[in-house]
Amino acid sequence: MKAVYHEGPKGMTGLTYGELAQTEVKAGEVRISLKAAGLNHRDLFVLTRHSEDDPALVVGSDGAGIVDEVGEGVTNVKKGDEVIVNPGINWKHNTDAPPPEFDIVGLPGHGTFAESIVLPAENAVKKPVHLSWDEAGVVALAGLTAYRALFTRGQVKEGQKVLIPGIGSGVATFLLQFAKAAGATVYVTSRSEEKRQKALELGADYALDSEGDWEDALEGTKMDLVIECVGAATFNKSLKQLRKGGTIVTFGASAGDEVTINLRDLFYGQQNLLGSTMGSAEELDEMISFIEKHQIRPVMDQVYDLKDYKAAFERIEKAEQLGKIGFSISK
Amino acid sequence: MKAVYHEGPKGMTGLTYGELAQTEVKAGEVRISLKAAGLNHRDLFVLTRHSEDDPALVVGSDGAGIVDEVGEGVTNVKKGDEVIVNPGINWKHNTDAPPPEFDIVGLPGHGTFAESIVLPAENAVKKPVHLSWDEAGVVALAGLTAYRALFTRGQVKEGQKVLIPGIGSGVATFLLQFAKAAGATVYVTSRSEEKRQKALELGADYALDSEGDWEDALEGTKMDLVIECVGAATFNKSLKQLRKGGTIVTFGASAGDEVTINLRDLFYGQQNLLGSTMGSAEELDEMISFIEKHQIRPVMDQVYDLKDYKAAFERIEKAEQLGKIGFSISK
């Protein structure tokens, strides 16, 4: 099968589009013939983490397609079912942290940037009917991350003020759509005038310049909830805009992971600083019900052919996208 | 009336034991004739915060005594009732943060280190019958702070492992007693061999040397909950001992308030960092029911006469105490 896989030297240098043998389907597993896949920031990390000594690894955590082969004992799906990939392996219920055996599709096991993938059958989840194949291919990892951060962890409520610094990533655009659907007033920030404009078109109530004075721009309005994935570059600016008793959820640190905070501000402010990442199978089901109910479709940035993987990886590395970057897979 | 009051130069220099005029009781207020009072770390801060230009201020947030005079319209207490002072003014219900009009007894209004105090009647709360006057005089501020941090914020559960760094303060000894009564396994730390020994006698399951290697001492055992009031000196050591999905509640920073944390550790660990301080009238009632149910009495360090205030302030400033320092007040 054709696949984008990593082998040998770390980084983009070790990434190739070419022919790779298919994996065999064992008991409890399914093979999904993939129609689409989604690129995530994690795929960049995988290129630096996959060992030079290990065999070729298909990259990618998100995908959608048709069940093609069903292993012994599988009852939840059958051949011909339209499904998306749950990128989280072995995290079933909504617990406060994933179990020790938790893994993510695309490292250590093969990922989705290929014509097919073999997975535990429970990781094949019914495709939301209102989504196109390209949309279904990009929805799971970012949608799930946004859902857990905003609902399970952030406990967003109707009427709350929610700040999303760094609108641009797939998770950030889902956060914007989910928070609006939940009835919140949504504030976003970006360094890019173009992204701020686009965010307003997507429903954001306010769009601030990331590099400006947020306190001035917000005229003293404080946030009930901040969902923060930028990290060091904006973290303390975000904390400053949080109301007493408010919550900041952090799930990313693309601009640095070391931050210095003042404990006294935190405890006099009775504030909550909560870490979040990914989510359980249970939360994925809740997220899918939510986007079906509100007819939410992912914000699509660009869709590439698998063979044009380099352009896609460069685009996410430079953070040029607004929304999700996808791959369309045809045989 | 005799009182310990602050006037003029900041710090201990401005602190005097002497005669001060009583305040008049207005509608909705009561005068409590005080039998006992409790010293808190906050009283040290008050000495540095009370303005040199303002009139003399009676220090102290904790006290217990007998209702002596009742203002117009007061129905919750009557003359002769045995009461303790709720040190929190205007925070009635258990909300996520106190309302803007929240104050603490002892700044800006007169405090408890005096023969009597005038307060809003709702701040006079029935004295727990199982406590002596000296015990009742020290229970409210520290007990309330411990209660909110451990239960409302930390959501402690039976069977959990709870770490209390820096056993010594009144709040820390309440935390130890409350956590044991709630069925937790309790780990404490102290630099003092004597305090570690005393903590074990008080029911702690393990007592670690604050300056040692906690990871070694705990042999890999991770904590469900850490209640942290030391601040910079131990904060990152505490964070390291927290399990995935665990919670750290911070309510003090006597050893520094600036800490550098790693967001990536926090979000991959799905951890919670929660600020807490004081508590509402509702939580004070819950705390009193809890200590009555479990027959918990405050750990008494030393009780002084009001006129010996200097020795008491020096003892808390040097953090020599284990448990509560009180004042016995007699006419």
Domain A144-275 class in CATH: alpha beta
The 10s digit of each residue's pLDDT in B100-152 is: 999 999 999 999 999 999 999 999 999 999 999 999 999 999 999 999 999 99
Q: What's the whole-number average pLDDT of chain B? A: 97
Amino acid identity of A130?
Answer: H
Confidence of residue A233 (pLDDT cuts 50, 70, 90): confident
Chain A residues whose CB is inside 8 A of the B270 CB are 96-98, 275-277
Interface test with B, best of A267, A272, A273, A277 (most B CBs within 10 A): A267
**Any CB–CB contact under 8 A between A253 and chain B?**
yes
Q: Is residue A331 over pLDDT 80?
A: no
- Cα dihedral across residues B261, B263, B268, B274: positive or negative: positive
Amino acid at A282: E
The per-residue pLDDT of chain A, averaged, comes to 97
CA A103 to chain centre: 15
Whether the pLDDT of residue A3 is over 90: the answer is yes
The minimal CB distance from A253 to the residues B253, B259, B263 is found for: B263
User: Does A93 touch chain B if contact means CB atoms closer than 8 Å?
Assistant: no
Q: In this predicted structure, what is the pLDDT of residue B314?
A: 97
Interface check for A264 against chain B (CB to CB < 8 A): the answer is yes
Confidence of residue B254 (pLDDT cuts 50, 70, 90): confident
> Would you state the pLDDT for residue B233?
87
Choose the CATH number for A2-139+298-328 among 3.40.50.300, 3.30.70.260, 3.30.460.10, 3.90.180.10.
3.90.180.10
Can you give the pLDDT at residue B243? 98
Residue A12's pLDDT band (cuts 50, 70, 90): very high
How many angstroms away from the CA of A259 is the closest CA of chain B?
5
Name the residue facing A266 among B232, B243, B275 (closest C-beta). B275
Interface contact flag, B244 A98, Cβ < 8 Å? yes
Contact B269 A275 (CB under 8 A): yes
Cβ A276–B263 below 8 Å, yes or no? Answer: no
pLDDT digits (tens, 9 = 90+) for A52-96: 999 999 999 999 999 999 999 999 999 999 999 999 999 999 999
CB proximity list for A289: less than 8 A, separation 6 or greater: none
Q: What is the pLDDT of residues A33-62, one digit of tens each?
A: 999 999 999 999 999 999 999 999 999 999
* Chain B hits for A272, Cβ within 8 Å: 272-275
pLDDT score at B328: 98
Taking CA atoms, B96 is separated from A148, A181, A264, B225, in Å, by: 21, 25, 17, 19
Are the Cβ atoms of B275 and A252 closer than 8 angstroms?
no
Q: Measure the CA–CA gap between B4 and B16, rounded to whole angstroms.
A: 6
**Is residue B245 within 8 angstroms of chain A, CB to CB?**
yes
Note the pLDDT of residue B255.
81
Check CB contact under 8 Å for A263 and B262: no
What share of chain B has pLDDT > 90, as a percent?
A: 96
**How confident is the model over A146-192, as pLDDT tens digits?**
999 999 999 999 999 999 999 999 999 999 999 999 999 999 999 99
| Percent of all residues in chain B with a pLDDT value above 70, rounded to a whole number | 100
For residue B102, give the chain A residue with the closest CA.
A268
Predicted local distance difference test score (pLDDT) of residue A55: 96
Q: What is the 3-state secondary structure (H, E, C) of chain B?
A: CEEEEECCCCCHHHEEEEECCCCCCCCCEEEEEEEEEEECHHHHHHHHHCCCCCCCEECCCEEEEEEEEECCCCCCCCCCCEEEECCEECCCCCCCCCCCCCEECCECCCCCCECEEEEEHHHEEECCCCCCHHHHCCCHHHHHHHHHHHHHHCCCCCCCEEEECCECEHHHHHHHHHHHHCCCEEEEEECCHHHHHHHHHCCCCEEEECCCCHHHHHCCCCEEEEEECCCCCCHHHHHHCEEEEEEEEECCCCCCCEEEEEHHHHHHCCCEEEECCCCCHHHHHHHHHHHHHCCCCCCEEEEEEHHHHHHHHHHHHCCCCCCEEEEECCC
Which residues from chain B sit within 8 angstroms of residue A275, using beta carbons? 263, 266-272
Distance from CA of A258 to the nearest CA of B (A): 5
Mean pLDDT of A251-259: 90
**pLDDT number for residue A254:** 82
Residue B311 has a CB neighbour count (10 Å cut-off) of: 11
How far off is chain B from A253, nearest CA to CA, in Å? 7
Chain B residue closest in CA terms to A148: B270
- Per-residue model confidence (pLDDT) at position A255: 80
Residue B331 has pLDDT above 80, yes or no: no
Is A263–B257 a contact, with Cβ atoms under 8 angstroms apart? yes
Q: What digits encode the pLDDT tens for the residues B64-109?
A: 999 999 999 999 999 999 999 999 999 999 999 999 999 999 999 9
At residue A8, the pLDDT reads 95
pLDDT tens digits for range B21-60? 999 999 999 999 999 999 999 999 999 999 999 999 999 9
Helix locations, chain A, DSSP H: 41-49, 133-136, 140-147, 170-181, 193-201, 214-218, 235-240, 263-268, 281-293, 309-317
Where in chain A do CATH 3.90.180.10 domains reside?
2-139+298-328, 144-275
Look at residue B213 in the predicted model and tell me its pLDDT: 94
> A45: burial class by Cβ within 10 Å (0-12, 13-18, 19+)?
exposed
CB distance B268–A275 less than 8 Å?
A: yes
In this prediction, residue A139 carries a pLDDT of 98
pLDDT of residue B330: 84
